[in-house]
Structure 1
Amino acid sequence: MHRGKWAFLYSLGIALCLLVTTVRAEDQLGYYRWSTAYGDQVVFVAENDLWTAPLPGGMARRLTTAPGEERYPLFSPDGKWIAFGGTYDGNMDVYVMPAEGGEPRRLTYHPSTDYPTGWTPEGRISFRSLRDPGPGVWRGYVVSLEGSYPEPLPIDEAGLITFEPGGDRVAYNQGVSNYIGYGWWKRYKGGMATEIWVGSLKTHDYRNVTNSDGNDTSPMWWEGRIYFMRDNDARMNIHSMKPDGSDIQQHTFHTEWDARWPTLADGKLCYSLGADIWVFDIAKNETRKIDITLPSDMLLARDKFVSPDDYTDDGALSSDGKRLLIAARGEMFTAPTERRGVIRQISHTVGAREKSVSFMPDDKEILAWSDHEGEEALYLYPADRIGDPKKVADGASGWNFPASVSPDGKWAVYGDCHRALQLVDIKTGKTTGIDGSSWEMDNYEWSPDSRYIAYTAVNTTDDFGATAAVRVYDVNEKKIHAVTDPLFSCFTPTWDPQGKWLYFISARYMNPYGSANDWSFIILEPDQIFGLALDPETMSPYAYYEDGTPPDKEKDGKDEKKDDKKKDEEEKEDEEKKAVEVKIVWDGLQDRLVKFPVEPGNYFGLWAIEGKLYFAASKPRGWRPQKDDDEDGAVLKLFDVKKTKTSDVMSGVQAYTLSGDRKKIAVRTKDGFQVMDAGATEPPEPDKDDKDAGLHLEDWIYDVDPRVEWRQIFDEAWRLERDFFYAPNMHGVDWKAQREHYGSLLNRIRTRDELNDLIGQLIGELSAGHTYTWGGDTEKSRSVGVGLLGIDASRTPEGFYRIDRVLKGESWDPKRTSPLTQVGMNVKDGEYLVAVDGMPTSSVSNYLQLLNNKAGRVITVSINDRPSLEGARKLVVKPMGSENDLRYWDWVYGRMQYVREHAGDDIAYVHLSNMGSDGLEQWMKEYYTQADKKALIIDVRHNGGGNIARWILNVLERDVWSWGTARNGMRYRSPGSGFYGHIATLCNGGTGSDGETFSEGFKRLGLGKLIGERTWGGWVGIRGDKPLLDHGTITRPEFTGWGKEGTWLIEGPGVYPDVEVVNHPKQVLEGRDEQLDYAIGHLRDLMKKEPKVKPPMPPFPDKSAKGDKK
């Protein structure tokens, strides 16, 4: 009997052990990426580290542990070494380590990103880098196992590369976008679709051997065939072909996931699929999943304490200002504002995000949005944390702006993602749409008596001439009133606490600033502050009176008695307790407008207290301000209506809010929150005698569970695309099914970086451009900057470095000039760099090792006219942290010189790297000084996009129609910025986004020939203004367009050139630019056949009497 009992318990124990074992096995499945196999070993990346596991499957062992990321492991041909990319010092460099594990050895030293791509047959490591970016292209290099000075490969643009075993040929992708290669833009068919080129490293005769509509990427050479990935069946799968592109065979047929990041060694082709590693055995023609167990402590997924202050979303003050409410990292907290005390965590909702918070008028409850049921809904939370939250109402199907509570606590109003304004009955939860707009409605305020809502709406559906307007909704009458002049943009309405005025900001001050280059004008500071008197009985605060003061404010002077004064104070207290009733006489309301004497500016965030107005101001700083800190925010200003005085209260302001009684104000700067009395014209000084006085958040910490957060972040990312993606049909994708599909891998995620990859794959299913995700609470490594000298160098037999070329750049701009071109240094091409800080450059295999951690630091370099330390001169320099700008401008000036050499001074050349601030600067520098030439080449190859294309097109459309001169002046034309000559534009697959706007517009407006190759194909504009819970970013493609013929433009295929010209690799290596050559020849032909001759000045008129008779 007893034995039977123990036998039962023993059996139960076995069952429990099996259950525990099963649970642990599930927990030990990671998210596996970037793999490589050799022999019976596979090495892969999980949790940002390198791991090794048996190729048949089994328990993995961690190889690296440093903070940061390791990526792209590659076995050496003999299986003894693993090359990989690592961020040990904050930058992705190439490292190598023994295959069984050990200390990694750094092989590259450069602030650019270096990715290993393969091994040469003789055992060197190839890598791609942007260290010599020029217009922004990857180039290929090789480095020895010991870490030699990198040697450039004779290839024009190198993305992924493989070497022919025993031969001199390579197969490579010209360019590889990580964004597309990661699977973050699936079924891509634009101008950057990857092709495979094959050719000899000796003869440089490279040929495109694929030429498919989709992507052919990641070539891998093995036993006379090239294996690669292709997505012609909507999913990336493994294929192979002969080196000439014939006999294409498909080897894998995956339909649920894309095969990604393949590598090939020892006849084993490894790749990632979903969250697993698969291997294709070439000899056996078999593919299988490698079952890997990851015995990890899951350090990056453990619960941890964070400072919510680093992740603050918004805040609010209680009615009396005694507590500050903050939404941060998905939760809500309140803190006492007058003295150090307890910081309360109001919400503890697992796997949800609370945001957009506000106190109810009685301060007993808090209203907030929460998504803990999967969609955003309004909830009331007890401010004392006693009791459960109560659901008020579901949101209006999607993402919502903050809700504003009426002063009586009965109503809430908010704007939704559908550009509608919603009114919520807090007691019943009934939600009613009360108005709509042509743009989002995120600005609204209740009147003091809770009857009216003042809000901002956009007046028109057309993007030209659209103006913001202030409207008022009457809750009792259920009626909308337009209260501002539609000729002017009016916004940010706020009510006078006494209910007599409605204030707002309006852009009415038109003081044009002229451009230094042409007759273009801008209005820099158009905003002014206005008030509407709601009742005709209300007098202007600046009205004149016969006795100098308003009758009800006259005083009896010496005859005033103390009893009367006490009576007045009692009456004032009674008046304050009496509810304000807002009286609005609609007839003639717009005529009762008062402009307050505030200097015009750029204003926002208007908020009224009694007799005064708070508002925020930002100074125009241009797109390229000299300061890099962006001044950390706006200036909070306070205008005293009666005294007509404006005070600067605080600078660096990011946000501010007022208490319910409008007697306290909380201001947020980069340094945190500060609470002070409303009406104060400057922040209070800290109390030196009482360190506990005031608001204290320095000890504010919060325990987070990253894995729970990651699920919420994934779901919110999914919802944001659902709510804002430009096409409501989601490009025909079953978006709910994709959520389930990719969401099935969430349990495998161990790091925030892995989550970004999963989200990237999810949104990549939309097959649209600009679907990006980055940031969040990711693992970071320390940053050690490598210094650069702005030179091209080569190593001599003696081990020193010959300065082959000192990059010229722009000598007046520190970011665009070599440190060795400073006045008085006189370093010349052909001299030698022989020492850095006294250390001979011959003592290391790569002189950049001596510049590690020297970026921005003052050092010495020794220069000689021969490869020797003897006789060297010592110079004191400050190495650069990046050569990108310098090398770009060096490349541009090289193109300009190329055009001058091949076309003389008749043809101008302008390159635009993007359509942002850099591109605008380039246009200003390069166009206006060459606008008198006979022809113009505009080069938008590798243009990164922006938003100025329409403006440049407008300049080019200005047809010159007249010329003139002064008696002793120079000749001029009208319009002055117009170009009188022939124009051609160059584009290629790297021309993206707004660069494509320019390319398509150039064609459609008939401004000239578009020459080159098809563009990127990503034209849907984005916003990334809605941060995720941990302040990671996801972009939503929201803005696109169609042509006059009613068809969608650009997105997908890109812009097709009028004349297709391909820059062949061999010609590029020889210094030729076939696209540029074609443009030069085309324009020279036009100048001959259709010359645009400037008309000569006619004879001066004879207006004498004699001449008049003629």
Structure 2
Amino acid sequence: GAAGAAEGAGAAEGAGAAEGAEQNGSAEAAKSAESAEATESAESAEDPDTPEPESAETPQSSEPSEPPEARVVEVVRSFNGPVRDLAFSPDGAWLAWSHPGVGRSLRQIKLARISEGEGPFSLIDVTDGRFEDENPVFTRDGRYLAFLSWRGFDPVYDVHTGDLSFPLGCRPHLVTLSSATPSPFALSADGRPAAGGLDPDDRASGYEGVVIVEAEGLASRVTPFPVPASKYSSLSPVAGGGLVWLRWPISGALGQTFVNPADTSSRPTLEHFDLARARRTQLVDHMDAFAVSGDGSRLVVVDDGELRAVPANDLPDDAGTSYIDPRRILHEVDPPAEWRQAYDEAGRVIRAYFWDPGLSNIDWDAVLDQYRPLLDRVASPDEFADLLREAYGELGTSHAYVTAARRSEGPPHYQRAQGLLGADFTCRDGAWELRRILPGESSDPRARSPLAGTGIREGAVLTHVDGRPVDPVTGPAPLLAGAAGTSVELTFASTAGGPPRRVAVLPLVDERPLRYHDWVAKRRAVVRELSDGQCGYLHIPDLGGSGWAQFNRDLRLEMSMPALIIDVRGNAGGNISELVLEKLTRRIIGWDLTRDAMPVSYASNAPRGPLVALADEATSSDGDMITAAFKLLGLGPVVGQRTWGGVVGMTG
């Protein structure tokens, strides 16, 4: 990863400025403010019509003095990925951030007093780097530092293979910056309500001007919030000393956890935590995103395209909720200017983040200059994307993708997709005959077959769609335009001289999953036939969520065969090749024998015999990796074509 640095610039205005060095918490700032107030008061008391007396002294200039020159100062540098989640204390004197640790996932919360000026800065480790700690924020009273930490280790069993994972590993955590500050979660010798919280005398009335950090024992003062372990994000401080965050439900990578893919249960919940009372309140159930107002008193909530402002520390009601009409926001776009800016920005991104600092010995500035004149001839987002692809192509690298920008194409009901029936039709003498109904896959909600279970058999002739006759030339497809996901009535002619059959179906938006499962089933049948039932077959379409699901769908049955073919042809890549290889490298060293049951291998679901991998030119990215690892580990031969060869990858 590229080296990352946290930087601060001096002479910034405002305690919350990201460039702040010394802010209004310092004695010098307070003294200057008092002097300015006194001068302003004296000037306002003078009669504007009274002439000023002459003075022998050199008159002071009435022009404002020049502010100190801004400067950029390096606070810290990382050599293992980006420094991120920068957060300034209310007085602007302290900077907190999430610092990369060992490997790719561990992160550490650090602090620096940036009011020290030019540096070097004293760095304080808030956490010890053992876990993934991120999203630090100061409470608005300056007494606490809160952050999110993935340090929960309550394992959950996998229902299919018995593996264990940690899907509920995150909680917000709190640090008292001074040992003299009471923790809202600690016991009190003077008594405290059972629900916790701060005693009335300990509750801060607001920000007092100076943030005090006591470095000694800071890590030992880290305390988890008394909330359930879950998935949390977007931790933010609000007025009144409280905090808000998003709590996410545990859902599958494919979006199949809930009954309906559009079910709002998969969206996060906005919660508020009152430190003074140690109480959690659910503000908005199932929304999309939020932002905190500058004074921390209001939240703007994005909910299914709707914008509204709600109180930050109380349950929203009609009186406290303001709805925002985004249609009032007008933005004039100058496409040529936008493309010029985007071209330069795309060039900077490559220069700053390309994996090789030398850009593979390519003069990148010369490449950009070579293609820049063509910007004057670009007339559409697609042409601009094509121009960027040509420039990126000079790098000779993989994973340098460009997607054309799309303007709004109207509300969803203007964009209804073509309806698909998951079936093959043949035109015979102007009649559209149902040649084959694709079988559905009950373990994959995406692969349902609309005509399965309707009683319609192959060979039936489709005559009408929603009462409209099927054209003998164009067939049923034009009548299904925009019908995806909506109920459609199909009429089939009777094959025995009886009345026509009418059935209601729900056409598919995408029938590729249905056809994919049919493709896999056909190849598995061929392998069974040619091996006399002695060889298993697994196809892995990608190395992401869908590929992991497909690999495990038939793993237990296919792995029980004396031999196994692993087909990664057309694999679109991903990042879980290591997980697949962990399964394939298992070795049987014993057997579990139970009365009235078949022997079970130890290790379970381990290969019983030889392995062979199939690959082709479309096996790409992490697919390249798994085929190379398959050979390096000596798991067996790789048969087929040379793979794509694109393993540069992308992050961030």
Task: Report the TM-score range of the alignment, normalised by the length of the smaller protein.
Answer: 0.7 to 0.9
SS at structure 1 position matched to 2:83: coil
TM superposition score normalised by structure 2: 0.82
1:408 aligns with 2:50: no
CA distance in structure 1 between the aligned counterparts of 2:126 and 2:267, rounded to whole angstroms: 31
2:402 is the alignment partner of 1:761: no
The one-letter code sitting in structure 2 at the alignment partner of 1:658 is: V
Residue in structure 1 matching 2:243, options 602, 613, 616: 613
Counterparts of 1:887-966 in structure 2, within 5 Å, are: 887-966=515-594
Deviations 1:182-206 (A, max 9, x none): xxxxxxxxxxxxxxxxxxxxxxxxx
Which protein is bigger by CA-based radius of gyration?
1
Residue identity in the other structure for 1:536: S
CA deviation string 1:931-966 (max 9, x = no partner): 211010011111111222111011111112111122
**1:1088-1103 alignment, distance < 5 Å:** none
Pick aligned residue for 1:452 from 74, 91, 94: 94
CA drift at 1:826: 4.0
Say if 1:545 and 1:482 are closer, same or farther in 2 by CA, change over 3 A.
closer
Counterpart of 1:638 (choices 268, 272, 290) is: 272
How far is 1:686 from its partner? 5.5
Which 5+ residue runs of structure 2 have no aligned equivalent?
1-11, 27-66
Which protein has the bigger strand share?
Answer: 1
How is 1:741-890 mapped onto 2 (pairs within 5 angstroms)? 741-778=370-407, 783=415, 785-796=417-428, 798-810=429-441, 815-822=446-453, 824-828=454-458, 830-841=459-470, 843-864=472-493, 872-890=500-518
Out of 787-796 and 982-991, give the one that drifted further: 787-796
Q: Distance in 2 between matches of 1:806 and 1:659?
A: 56
Q: Residue 311 of structure 2 is aligned with which of 656, 672, 677?
A: 677
Separation of aligned partners in 1, 2:22 and 2:472: 75
**CA 1:685–1:734 in structure 2 vs 1: closer, same or farther (change >3 Å)?**
same
1:639-654 equivalent positions in 2, closer than 5 A: 639-654=273-288
- SS, match of residue 472 in structure 1: strand
Q: Deviations over 1:3-28 (max 9, x none)?
A: xxxxxxxxxxxxxxxxxxxxxxxxxx
Q: 1:961 to 1:432 in 2, by over 3 A?
A: same
Change (3 A) 1:683 1:549: closer
1:390-409 C-alpha deviation (Å, 9 max, x unpaired): xxxxxxxxxxxxx4657937
2:346 maps to 717
Check 1:875–1:459 CA distance in 2 against 1; reply closer, same or farther (3 A cut): closer
State the identity %: 28
Q: Aligned letter for 2:252?
A: G
Name the counterpart of 2:645.
1017
Q: SS at the partner of 1:443? A: strand
Structure 2 distance, partners of 1:792, 1:642, is 66
Q: Any conservation in 2 of the 1:635–1:648 contact (CA below 8 Å)?
A: yes
User: Whole-Å Cα distance in 2 between the matches of residues 712 and 554 of structure 1?
Assistant: 54
1:709 Cα offset (Å): 1.1
Distance in 1 between residues matched to 2:505 and 2:186, nearest whole Å? 66
Query: Closer, same or farther in 2 for the Cα pair 1:791/1:765, shift >3 Å?
Result: same
Q: Residues of 2 paired with 1:596 and 1:831: CA distance?
A: 64
Tell me which amino acid in the other structure corresponds to 1:483. Answer: V
Compute the displacement of 1:929 (Å).
Answer: 2.2
- Structure 1 pair 673/907, CA: closer, same or farther in 2 (3 Å)? same
Question: Aligned in 2, Cα 1:780/1:1018: closer, same or farther, shift over 3 Å?
Answer: farther
What is residue 991 of structure 1 aligned with on the other side? 619
Deviation at 1:921, TM superposition (A): 1.4
Q: Distance in 2 between matches of 1:658 and 1:852?
A: 43
Letter of the structure 2 residue corresponding to residue 503 of structure 1: A
> Which consecutive unaligned segments of at least 5 residues does structure 1 have?
1-358, 368-402, 412-425, 556-567, 1026-1110
Q: Please point out which of 2, 6, 14 is paired with 1:361.
A: 14
1:500 paired to 2:133 = no
Contact 1:907/1:937 (CA < 8 Å) preserved in 2? yes
Structure-to-structure mapping, 1:385-424, within 5 angstroms: 403=18, 405=20, 408=23
Does the 8 Å CA contact 1:505/1:527 hold for their aligned counterparts? yes
> How far apart in 1 are the matches of 2:561 and 2:297?
65
Shift of 1:891: 1.0
Quote the offset at 1:746 in angstroms.
0.9
CA distance in 2, matches of 1:842, 1:657: 54
Q: CA deviation at 1:528?
A: 2.0
Aligned to 2:180: 537
- Answer whether contact 1:496 1:502 (CA < 8 A) is retained: yes
Alpha-carbon distance in 1 for matches of 2:184, 2:484: 59
Task: Give yes or no for contact 1:752–1:778 (8 Å, CA) kept in 2.
Answer: no
Contact 2:25 2:209 in 1 (8 A): no
The CA distance in 2 between the partners of 1:871 and 1:757, in whole Å, is: 56
**Structure-2 separation of matches of 1:743 and 1:713:** 11
Kindly indicate whether residue 80 of structure 2 is the aligned counterpart of residue 434 of structure 1. no
Q: Distance in 1 between matches of 2:612 and 2:470?
A: 47
Work out whether 1:596 is the aligned partner of 2:225.
yes
Deviation at 1:812, TM superposition (A): 7.0
**Which amino acid is 1:896 matched to?**
R
Aligned partners of 2:408, 2:484: CA distance in 1, in Å? 23
Who is 1:474 aligned against?
113
Change in 2 beyond 3 A, CA 1:669/1:775: farther
Q: Could you tell me whether the CA contact under 8 Å between 1:835 and 1:869 is conserved in 2? A: no
Residue type matched to 1:585 in 2? Answer: E
* 1:628 maps onto 2:258 in alignment: no
1:699 to 293, 305, 328: 328
CA distance in 2: counterparts of 1:875 and 1:661, whole angstroms:
60
Measured in 2, the distance between the counterparts of 1:858 and 1:909 equals: 37
Larger RCO, structure (CA 8 Å, separation 6 or more): 1
Find the aligned partners of 1:855 and 1:695 in 2 and give their Cα distance.
33
Q: Give the structure 1 partner of residue 7 of structure 2.
A: none
Q: Which amino acid aligns with 1:1021?
A: G
Query: Are the aligned partners of 1:445 and 1:493 in contact in 2 as well (CA < 8 Å)?
Result: yes
**SS of aligned partner of 2:210:** coil
User: 1:923 Cα deviation (Å)?
Assistant: 0.8
Cα RMSD of the aligned pairs, angstroms, is 3.2
SS at structure 1 position matched to 2:650: strand
1:939 aligned partner, one-letter code: D
Deviation at 1:458, TM superposition (A): 1.1
Amino acid aligned to 2:242 = K
Question: What is the letter of the counterpart of residue 957 of structure 1?
Answer: T
The answer to whether the 8 A contact 1:404-1:444 is kept is: no
Change in CA separation of 1:737 and 1:544 when aligned onto 2, cut-off 3 Å: closer
Q: Offset at 1:672?
A: 4.7
Q: How far apart are residue 493 of structure 1 and its match? A: 1.8
Q: Kindly provide the amino acid, as one letter, of the partner of residue 434 in structure 1.
A: V
Instruction: State the Cα distance separating 1:854 from its structure 2 match.
Output: 3.3
Partners of 1:809 and 1:886 within 8 A in 2: yes
Query: SS at 2:84's partner residue?
Result: coil
Cα-to-partner distance string for 1:579-612 (whole Å, 9 max, x where unaligned): 4322223222222333321111112222334442
Tell me which amino acid in the other structure corresponds to 2:248.
S
Alignment of 1:1057-1072 (within 5 A): none
The structure where helix makes up a greater share of residues is 2
Q: Deviations over 1:235-289 (max 9, x none)?
A: xxxxxxxxxxxxxxxxxxxxxxxxxxxxxxxxxxxxxxxxxxxxxxxxxxxxxxx
